[in-house]
Chain A
Amino acid sequence: MSDELKHTSRRAFLKGGAAVMAGSVAGAATAQSADPLITEVQDWASFTGDGVDATPYGLPIEHEADVIRRNVPWLTADPISSINFTPIHALDGTITPQGCAFERHHSGAIELRKDDYRLMINGLVDRPLVFSYEDLERFPRENRVHFCECAANTGMEWAGAQLNGVQFTHGMIHNMEYSGVPLRALLEEAGLDTAGDLADKWVYVEGADASSNGRSIPMEKALDDCLVAFKANGEALRKEHGYPVRLVVPGWEGNLWVKWLRRIEVMDGPVESREETSKYTDVLADGVARKWTWVMDAKSVITSPSPQSPIKHGNGALVISGLAWSGHGRITRVDVSKDGGMTWETARLGSTQGDSKALTRFYLDTEWNGEDWLLQARAMDETGYVQPTKDQLREVRGENSIYHNNCIQTWHLKSNGEAENVEVS
């Protein structure tokens, strides 16, 4: 019995779902017979467990082995230049553990030692400088929580409901607490007198990997809230997120968050690099493309119930849970609809509400008794922006933008507790 319980998973649920459901009724259930998990002394209550040295650096317990990043192989030519997805259906709270936070590489995740790390600042600065990793740790540093969302998150859904799982539709996002040095401090160290009027100046930021991904950022943003980060969630960045140093560009698309940051050049114009012309530009219906679409607009999604996180507990109390975020600032409100957008009720924001340009958790504590629901969430941010429907977005942009799809998502919750990605009128 305990073995079977151990392996209860979505798979088992889906196969034996009906039986499980039949056993549960609304309200407090009555036990048919005494539960051996309670009446019999279990192994773990009698024998000893692992000693303190069993896992010098711990991974999640094996029963959580399905909480992993997943890839959509048909999306890209090769996993070395590709993306995978955060299992947001299985997480709660707001902080994304580094080990399952999505990865996007253009030439693979490189191994760069701190000793071999150099950061150059050049261009229109008073003194071009080279910093070592140790130098960076001697600047006054800050801790800030921010979401990093790939501009292509939800990009496969423009033409219709396509991928059946919130991990795949919305998982190109993570949210971490970064420790680092404000980019402003490094620029000031190099001196910006030479640059003159800063209003029309840019910084070009570039990585040390083989793609040497480079993006141009207006000086305004560079001096505002960008962070040169070396720790995330309290520990060193993971290799796949740019160890030892990456750029954090709060609220702006993930492609700007250059990993393995090696060079910052102050310029009098943008480079118009490959990633800011041929990619990360949004083709509109008439064929004209928007460029410099840096900000990630307000967005939200229900993470549970969702296709990968069906209702397993039967009728009665249900927690609907999800994430909301905005590149413009704080999330002020999230509404949830159960009828595909006809009526809405306001959800409860989780405890970490108030972080700007960071994930906000929302909950709707409700009751479900096997109804057919069309579940939606709708975010509002502090600028008063209300997350649009897919039709509203398509009316302005057409279906070929790829990037910046922040539409309202619909899950069809069925009477058996399963959910499906659908589009509604």
Chain B
Amino acid sequence: MSKFLKVLAATSVLASPVLAEGKLGLGREALPEEVAAWDIDVRPGGMGLPEGRGDAFNGEEVFAEKCASCHGDFAEGVDNWPVLAGGFDTLADKDPVKTVGSYWPYLSTVWDYVNRSMPFGAAQTLTNDEVYAIVAYILYSNDLVDDDFELSHENFAEFEMYNQAGFVIDDRADTEYPMWRTEPCMENCKDIVEITMHASVLDVTPDEEGEAEGAAVSEEAAEEAVEVPVQEAALDPELVKTGEKVFKKCKACHQVGEGAKNRVGPMLNGIFGREFASIDGFKYSKVFIAAAEEGRIWDDGTMAEFLSQPRKYMKGTKMSFAGLKKDSDVDAVIAYLKSVDG
């Protein structure tokens, strides 16, 4: 038990009696299946783990499909996305590399987080075995296990993380507060004061002027866009609206509209009538580059096929999205994408 709790337990709040039965009679009893659906946390030692298993070898495949677009094939992290592997013994360096291997104290945290929050934009879609396999692969990518290592609910508790002993409970009350709970100096506190560093030297502050002007430009652009006569058959505004909602499923990785940039996926402005894999600066999967070489073009047909079954239509795509089940959603997203074409 922490010192914090010991100290406070002796005092006020816990000492006052907690109200007994009776109360207000609000709420209803949670059903066991409801508790089971939401109570999925996994604690150190594996408490709360469901049964299952997966090895690093299979985990590599799942990871490549569902995780690598952000975290890299070797868990090395793409762009600003988290690095999951390596960085051992760097925690005292000038720039520590805090990864699952080098920093995370409990394996249960990895399982719990992958299971509840990943993949980004498609949380809670992994099977238990897939989570075990991914966690096993992350350990493998950290050189902590061999590629035939199988992780399961049975051997989970045996695994001790590299940095488990690397944490202390908040000790500010001992190490800092006594020093700083003193009467402050008011006069002659220093002999000399010199500026030792200027923020302007680094020059990493976002430019307010640029932002303000950017906003003005986009308003104008939006007005212009409204005035441009629609060349094709007019889009159904209701369908566009529905499409915008459905597109939320895509937004974690794709941007569209004014100022859209490549993210995990390429930006989608002007996609219709364009060749596959034609956005500069985006690293496409091999299958997309091959399609571009064949001269394939995005149109209603190709887009509908891709959106319905991405991994069937473009086998080997890095896109982890499973596809839109309803044809009406596919049509809606197509309408939406057309509506925001710059």
Interface residues of A (CB under 8 A from B): 10-11, 65-66, 70-74, 76-78, 80-81, 106-108, 120-123, 126-132, 135, 138-139, 160-165, 168, 184, 187-193, 198-200, 204, 206, 210-212, 214, 218-220, 223-224, 262-263, 265, 267, 269-274, 277-278, 281, 283, 285-295, 297, 307-308, 335, 339-345, 374, 378, 380, 383-388, 392, 396, 399-400, 412, 420-425
A402 CA / B172 CA spacing, docked (Å): 16
| Interchain CB contact under 8 A, B189 and A80 | no
Contact partner, A342, options B80, B167, B168, B193, Cβ 8 Å: B193
Known: A11-B209, A80-B251, A162-B202. A131 touches B120 (CB 8 A): no
Cβ contacts under 8 Å, B43 to chain A: 267, 269-272
Interface size for chain B: under 10, 10 to 19, 20 to 34, or 35 or more residues? Answer: 35 or more
Cβ contacts under 8 Å, A108 to chain B: 251-252
| Interchain CB contact under 8 A, A128 and B123 | no
| Interchain CB contact under 8 A, A198 and B18 | yes
| Interchain CB contact under 8 A, B9 and A188 | no
| Interchain CB contact under 8 A, A278 and B103 | yes
**Sample of 28 A–B contacts (CB below 8 Å):** A71-B206, A77-B81, A80-B120, A122-B38, A127-B29, A129-B29, A130-B28, A163-B204, A189-B23, A189-B24, A198-B14, A199-B5, A210-B124, A212-B117, A218-B2, A218-B4, A267-B43, A278-B103, A286-B92, A287-B91, A287-B166, A339-B193, A344-B189, A388-B180, A396-B176, A422-B197, A423-B196, A425-B190
| Interchain CB contact under 8 A, B29 and A212 | no
| Interchain CB contact under 8 A, B190 and A342 | yes
Cβ contacts under 8 Å, B9 to chain A: 198-199, 220
Cβ contacts under 8 Å, A223 to chain B: 13-14, 18
Cβ contacts under 8 Å, B295 to chain A: none
The 0/1 profile, CB within 8 Å of A marked 1, for residues 51-62 of chain B is 000000000000
Known: A122-B35, A128-B29, A135-B27. A272 touches B109 (CB 8 A): yes
Cβ contacts under 8 Å, A81 to chain B: 120
Smallest Cβ-Cβ distance to A342: which chain B residue: B190
Q: A73-B206, A107-B121, A161-B202 are in contact. List 11 more A-B contacts (CB 8 A).
A: A160-B202, A165-B205, A198-B14, A277-B109, A278-B103, A291-B168, A344-B189, A385-B181, A396-B176, A412-B198, A425-B194
In order of increasing CB-CB distance, the 4 nearest A-B pairs are: A287-B91, A287-B92, A340-B193, A199-B9
Contact partner, A341, options B21, B42, B109, B189, Cβ 8 Å: B189
